[in-house]
Every structure is written in C-alpha cells, then in structure tokens.
Structure 1
C-alpha cells in the first residue's frame, strides 16, 4: 500500500476480530452519500474458542439524548436511528463475487486468507454527525448523533456479542458547502413611532450566502432614521439555532459572536457601516448546549455546520437541525431588529474523490 494512504485499524480485546478502514469521514453530497467501503475484517480464528463461530459487521447510527447513568426504569436515553448487519465469515456466496475497491484489494493481499471485505450503503435520510457541547463538569456520553462500525463474533446474528470479542470504530457523516452560489442574504424593516411623520428604516446585508468555519462575516448595516427618535445603540450578533427534533421539539438559541457598537444615529440622519464578526468555537468553550460537529476521539472540532435538509426527507428523523443567522438590533424608543440567515460550513477539500466506485 502507498505510505501516503492512512489506514485506521482496531482489534477486539481478545484479538479475535479487527477492523481496517481507509477513511472515517463519509460525505453526504445531497444527491448521494459515500458508501462505507475500503474496509476489511481480519479474523484470527485461532483465538476463537466458541464453535461454530460467525463474524458479523454492523453499521449503526445512534441518537443519544442523555448519559448512560441517566437510564430510568430500564429505558436508556438513546435511540437507534439505523442498524444494518452483514455476515462476513463464513462469506456468503453472493459476497464472494463482488468487485472490491482498490484499497480492499491491497488489504486483502497484505492481510492474507483471514481477511474478509464488507460494504455498506448509507440511506439518504440519515442525519450528519453532530453533538451538543457538555458543561465542563459533565462526564460520560453527551447528547449527540453518532455513527460507528462494529465487528463481532457470535453464534448467530441475534446473540448478544461479548465485549472481549467485539470491536467498535467511530466514523462520521459530514456535509460540505454546496458549490452553487445562492442569493445574497439581506433583510430590512421599517418602524414607525408615535408622533413621527416618517419611519426608521434599517437594512442588513451579507456578502454571500455561505461562509466557511473561521471566515470573518462582513455585515453591512444601513439605517435611515427619519423618525423623531435617536438611535442610541446598535448590537450585531451571530446566533446558532439548534432544533432537537427526534424525541421532542426542543430549541436552543445560542449567541456565538457579538459586538455592541457605540455608533448612534440621531433623528433625521443616516448611517451605513460594515461590521465584522467571526463565530468560533474557541470563543465559546464554556457554553453548554452549543451544537458542534461530530468528532472522533482525541480530536478537536468546531461549531456545528448548517444542516442541509433534502425536500423529501422527514425532519423528525434527522435528530438535530442546525442553522445560523445574523441579528442586528437598534435601540431607539424601542428595539428594532432584523435577522439575516446564512450557511456556515466547511469547503469541500481540494482533490477529494467524489465517492468510491463500487460496481457489480
């Protein structure tokens, strides 16, 4: 195998089964999802003491909305959104004739006769990997949508596998920013005050619809104050809205970037100014309940990417939906506000393969 190609591997405690993967991030392209391919299972049959033995591989998507120690009356605070199991040993006849990916062929050649490939297709209605940031004092699993590949030895598929003879490897389902450019986001409002002949007009405009994580956001604020009231202060913020839709209708609105301007707009004057905000996880490490992109063990992450929902998919199955908006507020006799939605995502990596090729 090429030394530049990373291969992730993990074995069970008793070394009876192991998983090799060429990648752990799988991309949702809206019209298709990268299949979980380029994977091999190496079965060390000499270490298996229970006969006859079968080896299975499972792909799972789990939505967890409470810690393991919060189980009440035997009911766990988790739900399996998707489960799919494949038998890899003994290999089934219809699996023996399938065409392998290039990495699978290399792994099969390297690992020898105890290596067996498997292949999964993601359904197009599964959520992406996302989780809520726990408080610094919280321990254990937190509220999250998680994916994993599990390989295990058992006498049959329904049998509960022993931890010593099973191995789990976390993976992620991610989305990248769409290639096409959307309409430039803009929003405006007018507020009429008592005893004023003319209203106060306020407009907020962004430069584009999609911003990348870590990219500054320039907000053009245009205020025409024809009223008899003075605008005494202006605040600009970026808000993250997280809707937990799978088990309830919880909604979390968190400010992830904020600026309070000293600018004023006296009666009969106008203001046009560009303000810049940059929403970063680094500035919100202590904020409990903030939505973050799913992360693998020992890796850092970032604010959750915006959710792109396909028209035909039920929102209730997606676990958590994340969106962002810029909010501009001007304080006069009362508060005047405009909201401008936008997308916050990662750019598609240069040179990334669109998907694995898997032909029959």
Structure 2
C-alpha cells in the first residue's frame, strides 16, 4: 500500500528559505494549470523558527510580476515592472471556518518538521494570465521579462530578510494526467518493454508527417 511517506519520497518536493533562514517553504509542484474555468490549488507547508511566532501573524500570497522593460535601462528610480497580489491568506493563526483537507504531502512534512510546520492553501483566479517569458533581441542577463508568478510567505510587520519566496509557473490548457506512483524496488511496467528508435529523423511535409522509407513504426505494449 502506498503510504504518505512513500509518496513523498517518490514525488520529491521544492524547498526554499528566507535570507535569515527563519522561514522555509515547501511545495509539491511549481507548475499549475488553468482549465475549464478553474485553476489548480496551491498546497504547501511553511516551517517557522519557534522564536518568530511571538504574537505575530504568518501570511502567504501569490504575486504576479509583469516586467515590460529591461532592468539595465531603468534610471532615476523608475522601474519597468508592476506587481499585483492575486491571492492572499493568513497561514497562522488559521482562520478557516471549514477545516481544509490535508494532502499526503503536507501530512508527511508536518510529521517530519514538528509543531512549527503549518499547511497553507492558495487559490489562483482562472482569469490570471499564463506565465510568459519575452526574449529581447539584444543580449540580456537581467530579470526575466514577461509575466511570472511567485509564492511568498512572511511574518506580519517584518523585514524583507524574513520573507521567503519561490517562483511558480501558470499554464493554460488541459490538465496532464498525474503520474502513477510505485513502491520502492517495484518493477515499472514501461521498463519491461524494449523500444527501437530509428537513427534517421522523421520527414515532415506540409500536409502530414511521414516516416522515412527505411523506417517502420513500432508500438510498445503497456
């Protein structure tokens, strides 16, 4: 049987800490999809040093960053970048009227990290634009241009050094099926089949893709 511990080890996670190492954020995924008028819910865990929770609120948010110009061209404090908050929640103390279900990923991390690990949930509106990266014609090494998102967690009335953030990506389209999880040391069904790949590339026409004359398509049974 697949336990939460096995699921965490199989899927992995994404982790980042604040500059002062007081806050650490954990996410199960950094890619989220908007499909049929709804967006994937962001679920994660935030770990806080015990001394930082002295009558203070712990907040989380999703920020959309729209950069429409090069940062190396900014002068006189004028920035070609706009930010807006698309989701905001209070992580601690919890204020939910209805208790939110905890995923296996969150449950396992909370057991590992102890009493100062808190689950959080963030909802993105389905009207949010997708992540887009613009590539300028001239060579550029600055902040990425286009539309991007990040998840931030911070203590109320705290400094920037006590803020943790992690970039995420938002896509529009059909949701991809979730990968199947297999216990450790269990044979994967697709590893039992041998696949022959042709050395010659596919030849494409304007009407439909065609195989080269010396190539034969091969099918792999599941």
**Which TM-score applies when normalising by structure 1?**
0.44
How many angstroms apart in 2 are the aligned matches of 1:168 and 1:54? Answer: 17
How many Å apart are 1:79 and its aligned residue?
2.2
Residue 10 in structure 1 maps to residue 16 in structure 2 = yes
Residue 29 in structure 1 maps to residue 1 in structure 2 = no
Residue 100 in structure 1 maps to residue 106 in structure 2 = no
How many Å apart are 1:53 and its aligned residue?
2.8
How many angstroms apart in 1 are the aligned matches of 2:30 and 2:95? Answer: 26
SS at match of 1:103: helix
| Pairing partner for 2:92 from 79, 89, 110 | 89
| Pairing partner for 2:163 from 155, 159, 166 | 166
How many Å apart are 1:216 and its aligned residue?
7.4
Aligned residues of 1:66 and 1:142 also touching (Cα < 8 A) = no
2:216 is matched with: none
1:140 is matched with: 142
Aligned residues of 2:203 and 2:209 also touching (Cα < 8 A) = no
Aligned residues of 1:91 and 1:116 also touching (Cα < 8 A) = no
Aligned residues of 1:66 and 1:141 also touching (Cα < 8 A) = no
Uncovered stretches (5+) of structure 2, i.e. residues with no partner: 177-201, 211-222
What RMSD over aligned residues (CA atoms) do the two structures have, in Å? 2.8
- Larger relative contact order (C-alpha < 8 A, sep ≥ 6)? 2
How many Å apart are 1:102 and its aligned residue?
2.2
Q: Counterparts in 2 of 1:162-311, with a 5 A limit? A: 162-176=159-173, 218-220=205-207
How many Å apart are 1:173 and its aligned residue?
0.7
Higher strand share: 1
How many Å apart are 1:172 and its aligned residue?
0.5
Uncovered stretches (5+) of structure 1, i.e. residues with no partner: 156-160, 180-214, 221-273, 277-360
Higher helix share: 2
User: Computing the radius of gyration over CA atoms, which structure comes out larger, 1 or 2?
Assistant: 1
Aligned residues of 1:57 and 1:86 also touching (Cα < 8 A) = yes
Q: Counterparts in 2 of 1:23-102, with a 5 A limit? A: 23-37=29-43, 39-46=44-51, 48=52, 52-71=55-74, 74-92=77-95, 94=97, 97-102=99-104
How many angstroms apart in 2 are the aligned matches of 1:19 and 1:107? Answer: 11
How many angstroms apart in 2 are the aligned matches of 1:178 and 1:5? Answer: 18
How many Å apart are 1:52 and its aligned residue?
4.0
How many Å apart are 1:168 and its aligned residue?
1.0
How many Å apart are 1:122 and its aligned residue?
1.4
Count of aligned pairs = 179
SS at match of 1:94: coil
Q: State the Cα deviation string for residues 160-186 of structure 1 (Å, max 9, x = none).
A: x5232111100001134699xxxxxxx
SS at match of 1:4: helix
How many angstroms apart in 1 are the aligned matches of 2:138 and 2:124? Answer: 34
Report the CA distance shift for 1:14/1:142 in structure 2 as closer, same or farther (over 3 A). Answer: closer
Report the CA distance shift for 1:93/1:33 in structure 2 as closer, same or farther (over 3 A). Answer: closer
